[in-house]
C-alpha cells in the first residue's frame, strides 16, 4: 500500500491523526493528479466545515467538482471507495511516516524548483533565492507545540521560573548587574552614542572579552575595514597601544598572539561588507557558510552598525521613510538572533541634539524610534571634557527587558582609548544620582546648569546699570 493511501484513509477515519497532520500537508506533496484532486477535496471540506468528510461526502463533492477529466474522475472515485484503516496501527508511527513523506516531497520539489530557476532565464526569481528555497524545504517538520495551556502546563512553567537561563557574561561588573548576569540568547542589544564616543570601541572590547572567555564571536563590520577592527582587538588583547602596534617587532607580536591562544578555546571571525550593501539575508548566508567551511558556530554576533545595514525586505532605493527602513532592519536582525539562538550586539547614532546631550534618552535615537521599540536592551554612552580627563565614560540604561532599568540607571566605566579597552572603576567613582547625570555633578556641570536657566523678564540683575 502506498503512503498516500494511508494518509487519505486516516484523514477520514482517525481524527487524532488528522488534526495533527492536516496543517502540514500540502497539495504539492502529491505527485499523482488523482491524489492532488482527492487531497483538495478533503482540504476544502475541512476548511469549510472544520470537520473531516465521510466517503459519501467526498463522492458527492467529486461529482460536483469542475475541471476534472474523466480518467482522473474514475481514479479518484475508485480510490475513495477503497479508503479504510487498520485500527491497530500506532498513531506515533503514522505521524512519523507522514512527517517523513512531507520532508522528502518538500526537498524534491525544492530541488526541481531550483533547477527550473537555473534553466529558465525568464523567471522572476533570481539565483539568490535558491538557498532560501532549499533551507525552507529542509526545515519542514511537524511542530507539536501549538500554545501554552495556562492550567495544564503549570508544572513546566514552574520549572521555567527556576531554570537558570544561559547568558553570555560581561567582564564589566555593572553590565552584569543590570542584565542579571549577561546577555540572554535570541536578543537584540543596542548601544546608542554619538560619533567618536565609543560605539565600535565598546563592541571591540566585548568581542575580545568573549573570545578570552572561550566563546565564538562573529564581528560583522560595514563601517571600517576588517584589518582596522582586528587592529583594535589586537590592542585590547595584546595590551599595547594602537601606535605601538605599528612599531612592535614581529617576534614579540608572535609571542603575544601565542599567549592569547593559550588563554582561550574560542574563535573570532571578522567579516567586512560594503556600507549599506548587506542585510540579514547576507548574514544568514555567512553564518551557514562558516558552519560548513570552518566548522564555526557563533555564540555572539556583533554588527557594526545597524543603521548602515540593508533591509532584506525593502528593496534598495525604494521610496520609504527612515522610520520604516530602520525598524525593518532591527526586526530582521532580531529574527536572525532568534533563528541562530545567539545575542546580537549592534549600535546606532544619536541625533544632532543628542550628540551634545549630557543625559541621553530614547528620543535621541537617530532616524527611527522603531529601533528602541524592537530592541531588548538599549543603553547610551556619553562623555564630556570632565569625564575624558578622568579617563571615564558614562553609561545610561534606556531600555531593559532583563532587569529593572531603575536600578543602577547610570554608572561610569574606565576607558583606555589607546588600548581600546574598558574596565571597572572603584566604587567611589559611582557617585551618581538618578536625578542628574554624572556630568552635571561636576563644577563645570553646575556652572552650565546656571547658564542654561531661563531668565525672568523681571529679574533685577538684568536691569542693573540702567537708570
How do residues 147-205 score in pLDDT, each as one tens digit? 778 888 888 888 878 877 789 999 999 999 999 999 999 999 999 998 888 999 999 99
> What's the whole-model pTM score?
0.66
Q: At 267, phi and psi to the nearest 5?
A: -130, 150
Say which residue, 394 or 126, is predicted with more confidence: 394
CATH class of this structure's domain 3-138: mainly alpha
Chain segment 198-225, per-residue pLDDT in tens: 999 999 999 999 999 999 999 999 989 9
Asked if the model's pLDDT at residue 364 lies above 90, the reply is no
Mean per-residue pLDDT over the chain, rounded: 86
- 105: how many CB neighbours lie within 10 A of its CB? 18
Delimiting residues of CATH 1.10.860.10 domain(s) in the chain: 3-138
Q: Identify the CA nearest to 374 among candidates 325, 442, 423.
A: 325
- pLDDT band at residue 122 using 50, 70 and 90 as cut-offs: low
Share of the chain above pLDDT 90, in %: 51
Banded pLDDT at 437 (limits 50, 70, 90): very low
Please answer whether residues 266 and 285 qualify as being in contact, where contact means their C-beta atoms are separated by less than 8 angstroms.
no
Q: Are 283 and 327 in contact (CB under 8 A)?
A: no
Looking up cell 582587538 gives: 233
pLDDT of residue 117: 83
| Confidence tier at 464 by pLDDT (50, 70, 90) | low
Distances (CA, A) of 46 to 19, 62, 338, 457: 10, 15, 33, 77
HEC string of 36-84 equals: HHHHHHHHHHHHHHCCCCCHHHHHHHHHHCCCCCHHHHHHHHHHHHCCC
Q: Where in the chain is the domain with CATH 3.40.50.300?
A: 167-450
Set of cell numbers at residue 24: 502540514
Pick the CATH number of 167-450 from 1.10.260.40, 3.40.50.720, 1.10.10.10, 3.40.50.300: 3.40.50.300
Bridge partners of 413, per DSSP, are 393
Q: CA geometry: angle at 336 spanning 318 and 197, to 5°?
A: 80
pLDDT at 29: 92
Give the number of residues written for the chain: 467
Instruction: Report the distance separating Cα 41 and Cα 62, nearest Å.
Output: 7
Amino acid at each position: 500500500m502506498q503512503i498516500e493511501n494511508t494518509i487519505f484513509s486516516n484523514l477520514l477515519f482517525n481524527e487524532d491523526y488528522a488534526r495533527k497532520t492536516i496543517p502540514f500537508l500540502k497539495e504539492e506533496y502529491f505527485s499523482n493528479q488523482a491524489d492532488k484532486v482527492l487531497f483538495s477535496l478533503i482540504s476544502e471540506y475541512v476548511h469549510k466545515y472544520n470537520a473531516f468528510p465521510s466517503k459519501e461526502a467526498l463522492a458527492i463533492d467529486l461529482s460536483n467538482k469542475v475541471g476534472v477529466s474523466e480518467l482522473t474522475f474514475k481514479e479518484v472515485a475508485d480510490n475513495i471507495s477503497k479508503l479504510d484503516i487498520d485500527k491497530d496501527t500506532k498513531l506515533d508511527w503514522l505521524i512519523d511516516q507522514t512527517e517523513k513523506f512531507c520532508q522528502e516531497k518538500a526537498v524534491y520539489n525544492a530541488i526541481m524548483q531550483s533547477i527550473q530557476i537555473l534553466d529558465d532565464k525568464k523567471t522572476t526569481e533570481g539565483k539568490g533565492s535558491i538557498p532560501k528555497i532549499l533551507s525552507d524545504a529542509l526545515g519542514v517538520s511537524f511542530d507539536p507545540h501549538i500554545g501554552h495551556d495556562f492550567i495544564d502546563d503549570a508544572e513546566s512553567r514552574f520549572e521555567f521560573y527556576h531554570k537558570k537561563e544561559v547568558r553570555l557574561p560581561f567582564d564589566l561588573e555593572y553590565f552584569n548587574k543590570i542584565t542579571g548576569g549577561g546577555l540572554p540568547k535570541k536578543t537584540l542589544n543596542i548601544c546608542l552614542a554619538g560619533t567618536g564616543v565609543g560605539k565600535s570601541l565598546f563592541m571591540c572590547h566585548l568581542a575580545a572579552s568573549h573570545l578570552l572567555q572561550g566563546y565564538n564571536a562573529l564581528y560583522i563590520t560595514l563601517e571600517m575595514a576588517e584589518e582596522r577592527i582586528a587592529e583594535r582587538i589586537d590592542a585590547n588583547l595584546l595590551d599595547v597601544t594602537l601606535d605601538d602596534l605599528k612599531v612592535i617587532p614581529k617576534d614579540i607580536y608572535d609571542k603575544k598572539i601565542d599567549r592569547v591562544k593559550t588563554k582561550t578555546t574560542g574563535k573570532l571571525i571578522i567579516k567586512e561588507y560594503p556600507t549599506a550593501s548587506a542585510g540579514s539575508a547576507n548574514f544568514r548566508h555567512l553564518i551557514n557558510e562558516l558552519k560548513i567551511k570552518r566548522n564555526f558556530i557563533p555564540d555572539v554576533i556583533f554588527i557594526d552598525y545597524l543603521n548602515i545595514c540593508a533591509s532584506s525586505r525593502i528593496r534598495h532605493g525604494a521610496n520609504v521613510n527612515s522610520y520604516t527602513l530602520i525598524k525593518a532592519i532591527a526586526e530582521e536582525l532580531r529574527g536572525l538572533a532568534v533563528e541562530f539562538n545567539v545575542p546580537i550586539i549592534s549600535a546606532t547614532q544619536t541625533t544632532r541634539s543628542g550628540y551634545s546631550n549630557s543625559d541621553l534618552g530614547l528620543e535621541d535615537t537617530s532616524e527611527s524610534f522603531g529601533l528602541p521599540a524592537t530592541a531588548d536592551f538599549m543603553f547610551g554612552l556619553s562623555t564630556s571634557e570632565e569625564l575624558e580627563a578622568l579617563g571615564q565614560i558614562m553609561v545610561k540604561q534606556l531600555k531593559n527587558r532583563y532587569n529593572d532599568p531603575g536600578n543602577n540607571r547610570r554608572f561610569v566605566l574606565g576607558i583606555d582609548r589607546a588600548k581600546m579597552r574598558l574596565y571597572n572603576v572603584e566604587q567611589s567613582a559611582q557617585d551618581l544620582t538618578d536625578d542628574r547625570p554624572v556630568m552635571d555633578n561636576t563644577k563645570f556641570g553646575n556652572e552650565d546648569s546656571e547658564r542654561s536657566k531661563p531668565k525672568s523678564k523681571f529679574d533685577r540683575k538684568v536691569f542693573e546699570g540702567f537708570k
